[in-house]
Structure 1
Amino acid sequence: MKKIICFLLGLMLCPNLFAQVYSNDAELVSEENGNVTLRSSGTADKKKEATALAIKSAFNTLFHSGVAGLKGGTPMIAVPRKDYDYRFFSESRYINYLTDEPKEVDDMKVTKKKKVVVTVTINTKSLIADLQHNSIAVSPTWVDGKKQVKATAALNPTIVIVPEVNSSNGTDFEAMRKAAENNEALKYALTRVTAEFAKHGYKTRNFITQLQNSKRDEMMRMGSKSDLKTKIVQQLPGDIVVKVDAKVLADNQNHIECNLNLSAVENQTNGNLAAATFPSGKYYKGSTGNTELVEYSMKKITADFFEQIKSSFEKMVADGREIYIDLTLSQSISDWDFDQDSPESGNNFKDALDDWLREHAQQSVYDMSNSTDKFVHIALNIPLWNAERGRSYTISNFSSDLRKFFRTQFGDNYKATITAQGQKLEIVIE
């Protein structure tokens, strides 16, 4: 024990390596009883510095990149916080979670520097407890099953920032692009709002940047269906859509003012999360430009707005997305109905469907009481997060799972055609 303490004290006395770049090559060696052993490397001018950097790299990979073979490669931290990282590494707090002295596997010279490979064993239970004590959002896959709902509610959503458009100007991507390009204040507001969300710890996506880099760009400029904007946004990697409108108004007393309107909705269902208007205040014409007015409006955004989004989204994560299913028989089917046994499994179809819904609905919340032998209406909540796979769970994912269920019931006898319309799935059995 004395040897371990001396070794760790030596690491603490190393120069501050926080500004250096960590490696992300940590590999899983073993996992047992809450202790994880990782192999990682560090490169520095001196061997002791390289060793310290290798140990920090193991923790950094565990926190932010994820380790292959460990919890599906999911990072331990869902929402990074720079202040926690700084204290954890620069103050050598990571040492508290090492269960044994790091073991040197290899050291070599790399372009006049020392590269050291070590194995470290980390007590992940204590580490997660410290993260939660410091209000760090832990990824759901790393949290004990009994605390899963609470952990999932802390899931960090990705924000897609888009300009607000209405039916008079069109609602497709071209209208959104033109709205941003033809309005100096709006274009600046989109950039500033994106930066503000990033500052509050959210992962952000600006629709213009994303779509300009997309191979689908030309396709999206063609034609327009009334719901094309919704379809476009849903294809972006976002959980929440924030619509931005920046109106610069003038009155008859030679004053100008910017009203910055922000509304946040859940991507898949368009459910409202938060909405607010932030006025810049009135200024004399000529005394300030449009972008300056937007900046004044940005300063009016308070933490309450972000807290409202967070609380609303967390409630949605806890409750699930509400969707509706209408299940009907094609007119071509005359020899079978929903009250009979499934042709493939031999089980009563409605009983099998009831069991499947109970298993797949969030907290088993669903209702299929409104049904006949040829029609079934279902209302249910589906989860936003797949804890087993460590990733988000969309309506598209649910539809795919539902198709698999139908195949187990129908085989090649019948086919289920599923059409998604926002929060509703229209299913016809043919």
Structure 2
Amino acid sequence: MSMTAYDTNSSVKDRAILVSLVSTVQKRSEAMAEYSLAELVSLAETAGVQVLETMRQNKDTPDARWLIGKGKVEELKARLDELGANTAIFDQELSGAQVRNLEEALDVKIIDRTQLILDIFAQRAKTREGIIQVELAQLSYLLPRLSGHGKNLSRLGGGIGTRGPGETKLETDRRHIRGRITDLKAALSEVVRHRVLHRERRKKTGVFQVALVGYTNAGKSTLLKRLTDADVYVENQLFATLDPTSRTMELPSGKEIVLTDTVGFIQNLPHDLIAAFRATLEEANEADLILHVVDSSSDMRSEQMRVVDEVLEELGASGKERLTVFNKIDLIPDSERVDLLTTGGDFIRINAYSDTDLERLRNAIQEKLMGDSKTFRVPADKGDVISLVYRIGDVVSNEVDGDEMRFEVRVNKDDYAKLGYLLAAYDEAKQGDQHRGES
């Protein structure tokens, strides 16, 4: 068991001791356990909680009644009373029965990691879509656990783990909550329908879509702001932004693309949350290019990258064209950069606040999006096709050749096929007109 104390001089309403169980039979490194608990501290502070102390227990298997052992529960009770804490936050997900048993034994509010993350998302959600998704995730999580929230129901009214659905919704019966979930899913389906329409409209215009993904606090929003002058909230905290933001960005060639910032990932991201935010995260699945932003200064960089890879695989986006962006390179000593940042695949190392690095990134994005040079011949009177050539590709040169325009265009293979299909359709229509004229 290990214990870490924190400053207790604060008027913050929620005063908590954080608890973590480390299984001695699971293959989880000591460093990972410490990192997970440190991350829980950051999550709690992000939610506005005053962290008084952290406790950790090494145990072969979780206790079915309290998660931690009976002796550890008694020790936790003594520390809660001694420090005047009113909340216990657990790093693992708790069952309804465990919540009820811990409430009875400790007489404080019991919150687990999942509830804490859901609460932070509830604080951050600003758009109608985000608010619907958070409430849906919270209710989906709470529904099977209502029997475990005995005393917690009397403690509601703004505390952590309760924002979003709120007091009145949690006190209603399961049938009412199921009805609310059904309504939320219907509302979310409508939002998703509109999002799909916008996405299809963007595709038809031939505009490239690039998605920023990465672990929370890796610097995605900072990159979006710096690359597009977007008016987005940037702060050094977990989940500083939640709702997806799309802005146009100009490549060095002058071609415009759409850059979208997605919600940050985190280890043990609640499954209900992944399900609720699937429509948002699918921006990555629909993108022509994924920019995987990594906090290169983090000691747990490899683990964070693994988490992002797992979520992308779950979304079906693991095979997408990708460029790994090692951000915050300025925080790593020069002597350590080569050893620390070796990786497979395409990557670039940058400082988001360096104009030179941002220009290198723009060129790297352009190189990934735009393929080899191809030659197209377009009837000179087909202005709509000529316009599409300029929108989809990077026109290197053009010249008039009789009644046709000849273009040399840098374009990726997907858009090359799209242009080829359109030109073939025009040729077929032209030949049909000639045959009708001859007959």
Flag whether TM exceeds 0.5 (same fold): no
TM-score normalised over the length of structure 2: 0.29
User: Which has more helix, going by share of residues?
Assistant: 2
TM-score normalised over the length of structure 1: 0.29
